[in-house]
Amino acid sequence: MKVIGYFLLFFVLAMILIVLAIILGDSAPWYFAWIIGTGLLILTSAAAGFMFDTQEDKAKGELQ
């Protein structure tokens, strides 16, 4: 149930992001958006990796 709640929350958040991006960018400078967006994408997924390790380390710390 909690997962469904989170799912709905995140899904709605994603939809809001899409609508915002659409409103802001009819014929946007998409190349520029791509360069910035790809850079941010690389960094965000890298941050997801860091976060995973932090969680793992914390879990191990709690176990010990």
Partner 1 sequence: MINDTVVALSRWQFASTALYHFLFVPLTLGLTVFIASLETVYVVTGKSIYREMTQFWSKLLLINFALGVATGLTMEFEFGTNWSFYSGFVGDIFGAPLAIEGLMAFFMESTMIGLMIFGWDKLSRGQHLIVTYLVALGSNLSALWILVANGFMQDPQGAIFNPVTLRMELQSFSALIFSHDAQAKFVHTSIAGYVTAAIFVAGVSAYYMLKKRHLEIAKRSFRMATIFGVLSTIGVITLGDALGFIGAHAQPAKIAAMEAMWVTEPTPAPFNLAAWPNQAKQENTWALQIPYLLTPLLTHTMDTKIPGIAEIEADNVVRIKNGIPAVEALKLLSANPTDPAAMTQFKAHEQDLGYGFLVERYAQDQDVSKATDADIAKAAKDTIPDVFTIYWVFRIMVAFAFLMLAFFVFGVIYSLRNDIEKHPVYLRFAMWMIPVPFLACEMGWITAELGRQPWTVYNLLPTWMSASSHSVSYMVFSLIGFVSLYSIFIIIEMYLMVRAIKQGPDVHHGANTGGHTKDKSLGGSVLGGSYAPVHAKALMDEQSAKEV
Report the nearest approach of partner 1 to the CB of residue 20 (Å): 9
Report the nearest approach of partner 1 to the CB of residue 42 (Å): 4
Report the nearest approach of partner 1 to the CB of residue 64 (Å): 12
Element (H, E) at 28: none
- In sequence order, the 6+-apart residues with CB closer than 8 A to the CB of 25 are 33
Q: What is d(CA 18, CA 51) in angstroms, rounded to the nearest whole number?
A: 25
* Chain positions contacting partner 1, by CB under 8 A: 3, 6-7, 10-11, 14, 17-18, 21-23, 25-31, 33-34, 37-38, 41-53, 55-56, 59-60
